[in-house]
């Protein structure tokens, strides 16, 4: 396929996307991975090596909170967006507009 790797997702898109999805409902990391894959119709399949560092960074920055849920002998970590995270999403429409304009500009080259 040469240099034409359409699965290249620009750095910086994952954190806002995680916050956007957590606006819908709290999720665990695996669920976020599957949700991204589903919403992009399989175009983007981020793995644990990208999801968890992004979530941990968002948590350290105060945009995401974790809750440990017990299910019998097992437990899982569920992430939810914080008030700070919700507030940061106020810029999401501007981000979306700029993103779409950038993609449109790139597609005009071809």
Rank 3-12, 26-35, 39-48, 85-94 by mean pLDDT and report only the highest: 26-35
Which tokens is 20 given? 């956007």
With CA atoms as reference, report the closest residue to 21 among 47, 7, 39: 39
Which of 7-11, 16-20, 65-69 is least confident?
A: 7-11
Which carries the bigger pLDDT value, residue 19 or residue 94?
19
The pTM of the full predicted model, rounded to 2 decimals, is 0.78
Distance CA 21, CA 19 (A): 5
With CA atoms as reference, report the closest residue to 37 among 26, 24, 48: 48
Architecture of the domain whose range is 14-109: Orthogonal Bundle (1.10)
Q: Is the pLDDT of residue 7 over 70?
A: no
Domain boundaries, the chain: 14-109
Q: Helices (DSSP H) in 26-65: which residue ranges?
A: 29-39, 48-60
Task: Compute CA 7 distance to the chain's CA centroid, rounded to the nearest angstrom.
Answer: 15
Distance CA 21, CA 32 (A): 8
């Amino acid at each position: 396929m040469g240099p034409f790797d359409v699965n290249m997702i620009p750095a910086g898109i994952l954190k806002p996307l995680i916050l956007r999805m957590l606006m819908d409902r709290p999720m665990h990391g695996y669920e976020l991975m599957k949700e991204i894959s589903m919403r992009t119709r399989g175009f983007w399949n981020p793995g644990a090596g990208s999801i968890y560092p992004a979530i941990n960074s968002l948590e350290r920055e105060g945009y995401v909170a974790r809750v440990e849920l017990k299910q019998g002998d097992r437990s899982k970590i569920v992430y939810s967006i914080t008030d700070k995270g919700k507030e940061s999403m106020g810029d999401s429409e501007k981000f979306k507009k700029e993103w779409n304009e950038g993609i449109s500009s790139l597609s005009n080259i071809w």
